Structure 1
């Protein structure tokens, strides 16, 4: 009878190890599937000014300050896209058309795109807004605006009618 009890103990142990391995593989699969969701969310986000059409980058500045996307790179004159949430590109000003673009400030209109990814649920949303660039300063030898004021027209993503961003 000792042989049977020993073989039962071994079979129970093997079953327990198999259960632990299957559970670990299933948990790993869930984790990897979430990584893919996060990666696709980044791919779905609107593209920043760094990847806009090459013709935009070729524009001559004419002494006008530009906008450095997230404070990096060469300042772009009259950008059509400005990243507002640089950590995750979850908020991006898009489709900007500039009504005034001068040496001291610039005024334009467009849409703030907000990507909601909390708990893997939610929908993307767009909020019409007015944009004002201000505070031109020399950055890395080139003139760039250092501030952005966003004034929403109607509903807003976080309840504020105006938001300020540091572009330095």
Structure 2
């Protein structure tokens, strides 16, 4: 290898290493700059008590299991609102319409409300299908313990289907 070829080879490696370093720093900067948006989502998230008035007044019956919000309280039959992330209340299933509500499974459609979703200026809503399953006896009656959310288009977390434990 001549001196000239060696110089080109070293220069090419240096350019490649510089490109990789700049790309990593830029990606880290974007992630770091969005930290405030991720942190503020908790502050502006809809509080469950604020949306309680839109829930149906259904009480558990002997044959149909209900849903306990964040695993607390008495199970409610055919709720219109279900809190998905109980820690920060950043994701809430709202406007749920139940097409089928049985003793073993329930299916409905609605919207998952996400506060400040991935850099968005305003709150975001994602149309979804909801499936309740795995009814069990819990304090207060029978309640579904599992929830499957299937998004009909774009998704807040990147997955088309998400599973939640409602126990």
TM-score range, shorter chain: 0.5 to 0.7
Aligned counterparts of 2:140 and 2:52: Cα–Cα separation in 1: 22
Q: For 2:44, what is the secondary structure of its paired residue? A: helix
Query: Are positions 1:147 and 2:146 aligned together?
Result: yes
Deviation digits for residues 69-103 of structure 1, max 9, x if unmatched? 00000000000000001111110000000000000
User: Residue 123 of structure 1: CA displacement?
Assistant: 2.0
Aligned counterparts of 2:51 and 2:72: Cα–Cα separation in 1: 10
Does the C-alpha gap of structure 1 residues 40 and 97 become closer, same or farther in structure 2, counting only changes over 3 Å? same
Long gaps (5+) in structure 1: 1-36
Aligned counterparts of 1:60 and 1:108: Cα–Cα separation in 2: 18
If you compute each CA radius of gyration, which structure gives the higher value, 1 or 2? 1
Aligned counterparts of 1:74 and 1:49: Cα–Cα separation in 2: 18
User: Residue 41 of structure 1: CA displacement?
Assistant: 1.8
Long gaps (5+) in structure 2: 1-39
Aligned counterpart, 1:105: 105
Aligned counterpart, 1:88: 88
Aligned counterparts of 2:158 and 2:41: Cα–Cα separation in 1: 26
Aligned counterpart, 1:164: 163
Aligned counterparts of 1:139 and 1:49: Cα–Cα separation in 2: 25
User: Residue 139 of structure 1: CA displacement?
Assistant: 0.4
Alpha-carbon RMSD across the aligned residues, in angstroms, is 2.7
Aligned counterpart, 2:68: 68
1:135/1:145 contact within 8 Å kept:
yes
Deviation digits for residues 50-73 of structure 1, max 9, x if unmatched? 82358x335462520000000000
Equivalent residue pairs, number:
128
Aligned counterparts of 2:114 and 2:98: Cα–Cα separation in 1: 21
Question: Larger deviation: 106-115 or 57-66?
Answer: 57-66
Query: Are positions 1:41 and 2:28 aligned together?
Result: no
Query: Are positions 1:137 and 2:162 aligned together?
Result: no
2:41/2:115 contact within 8 Å kept:
no
Aligned counterpart, 2:115: 115
Aligned counterparts of 1:91 and 1:148: Cα–Cα separation in 2: 14
